[in-house]
Amino acid sequence: MGRLVMKFGGTSVANLDRIRNVAQHVKREVDAGHQVAVVVSAMSGKTNELVAWCRDASAIHDAREYDAVVASGEQVTSGLLAIALQAIGIQARSWQGWQIPILTSDAHASARIVDIDGSELIKRFEERKEVAVIAGFQGIHAETGRITTLGRGGSDTSAVAIAAAVKADRCDIYTDVDGVYTTDPRVVPKAKRLDKVAFEEMLELASQGAKVLQVRSVELGMVHNMPIFVRSSFDKPEDIDPHGTPPGTLICSEEKIMENHVVTGIAFSKDEAQISVRRIEDKPGVAASIFVPLAEANINVDMIVQSVSEDGRATDLTFTVPAADFARAKQTITSAQDKIGYASFDSETDVAKVSVIGSGMRSHAGVAAQAFRALAAKNINIRAITTSEIKFSVLIDAAYTELAVRTLHTLYGLDQA
């Protein structure tokens, strides 16, 4: 007997038939003797509808009330799933984030989990054999008593955090795909499903554009060493052996992976914007005059390239920000032009970031050089480059994204992985 947290995303609970299908997945694990907590997202499309309602009510609205509205989607799903479980003879009850409680910071719409008290859930597992059906994506700020939400994709984070709080053996993330692939199969049909991925690699994949898991959920898994299993909710519940290993991808510590590939996967993101601030006086504090205001505006800066003029008196700074933040980033910088002292501001929104990730890069030289040569052979110009110990990223024109991804996927032998 084990203890599992099962998380189901929006497409998995999109309607009552799918919610009943989820109930059968849960019943299978309960019948196998497992203690189960289920974390659910809002029904597919519901959060977008709630967000639109907030914006229609007022373009500028109170973030606290926004959270109160959008958190209701998960409340509906958790209640419906509890009803569906009870209908098939499973002892279950729904929980909202504030009832557990899931304590968070007060950064409404993007709160971070501070603490979770899992004691009552554990007590009910053991004394009542009760399934906990928990609304994901939400919590409560203790000092104000206000409902908070964790940002888009936050139900993944809820699930992993709850798994750590109740000392689960594993956190299963059920989604509309059957695991993590070497890249997006819609771009590269030969992409292969990975059996295991190290936390650190998955963190890079998620942060560089892979949509399977929210970055924060992977961080929590790594911190708490909580194995995360990504699997499909569309497999027939009756065809799955609860004591076996179904198709999927296990996210785990690197020690549990026998052999590390040089390259594990290729991620890409078209949600990028490039900004260049030109002819700034090259002196201490210039970078801070640009990046501190951006940080204060909660705008994440990714790739940074600095080039100094031949006479050493001026410098150009080029960097990328999420496309959704481009307008605010432009306004932040242009409003501080007098303080920064730049001569011109250039931008480009039709760009994409392609990233190559693999823990095997630590012990293999020339991995990036191979990519640069291959991209050059396809006449793909590289605008900027960033590297880390297990990853490098290139910024290219968006029109070449698919070609670049296919080229690199083949280059590193992932077509045959």
* pLDDT one-digit tens code per residue, 170-193: 999 999 889 999 999 999 999 999
Alpha-carbon gap, residue 93 to 95, rounded angstroms: 7
Residue 312 confidence (pLDDT) above 70: no
The SS3 assignment for 390 reads coil
Mean of the pLDDT values across residues 349-368? 90
Confidence band, pLDDT 50/70/90 cuts, at residue 395: very high
Torsion from C-alpha of 336, 340, 342, 346, nearest 10 degrees: -50
The annotation status of 10 as a binding-site residue, yes or no, is: yes
Strands of 113-116's sheet in order across: 113-116, 102-104, 138-141, 146-149
Predicted confidence (pLDDT) per residue in 365-383, tens digit? 789 999 999 999 999 999 9
Question: According to the model, what pLDDT value does residue 306 have?
Answer: 83
Question: According to the model, what pLDDT value does residue 279 have?
Answer: 87
> Which residue ranges form the domains of the chain, and what is each CATH number?
3-254 (3.40.1160.10), 266-416 (3.30.2130.10)
Question: According to the model, what pLDDT value does residue 283 have?
Answer: 81
Question: According to the model, what pLDDT value does residue 310 have?
Answer: 59
What percent of the chain is modeled with pLDDT above 90?
A: 72
Q: What number of helices (H) and strands (E) belong to the chain?
A: 13, 18
The annotation status of 118 as a binding-site residue, yes or no, is: no
The annotation status of 186 as a binding-site residue, yes or no, is: yes
Question: According to the model, what pLDDT value does residue 1 have?
Answer: 65
Q: Which residue has the tokens 């194995």?
A: 227
User: Of 213 and 20, which is predicted with more confidence?
Assistant: 20
Strands 170-175 and 3-8: parallel
The annotation status of 212 as a binding-site residue, yes or no, is: yes
Is the bond preceding 101 in cis, omega lying within 30 degrees of 0? Answer: yes
Alpha-carbon gap, residue 129 to 120, rounded angstroms: 12
Confidence band, pLDDT 50/70/90 cuts, at residue 311: low
Rounded to 10 deg, the angle between the 63-70 and 72-87 helix axes is 20
Q: Which residue has the tokens 């590939």?
A: 261
Question: According to the model, what pLDDT value does residue 221 have?
Answer: 96
Question: According to the model, what pLDDT value does residue 373 have?
Answer: 95
Mean of the pLDDT values across residues 152-179? 94
Confidence band, pLDDT 50/70/90 cuts, at residue 255: confident
The SS3 assignment for 184 reads coil
The annotation status of 8 as a binding-site residue, yes or no, is: yes
**35 near 2, Cβ under 8 Å?**
yes
CA-based nearest residue to 356, from 217, 271, 230, 261: 261
Q: Give the containing element (helix H, strand E) for 140.
A: strand 138-141
Confidence band, pLDDT 50/70/90 cuts, at residue 261: confident
Alpha-carbon gap, residue 198 to 263, rounded angstroms: 12
The annotation status of 176 as a binding-site residue, yes or no, is: yes
344: β partners: 278
The annotation status of 181 as a binding-site residue, yes or no, is: yes
Predicted confidence (pLDDT) per residue in 22-74, tens digit? 999 999 999 999 999 999 999 999 999 999 999 999 988 999 999 999 999 99
**41 near 136, Cβ under 8 Å?**
yes
Alpha-carbon gap, residue 260 to 384, rounded angstroms: 28
Question: According to the model, what pLDDT value does residue 24 have?
Answer: 96
The annotation status of 325 as a binding-site residue, yes or no, is: no
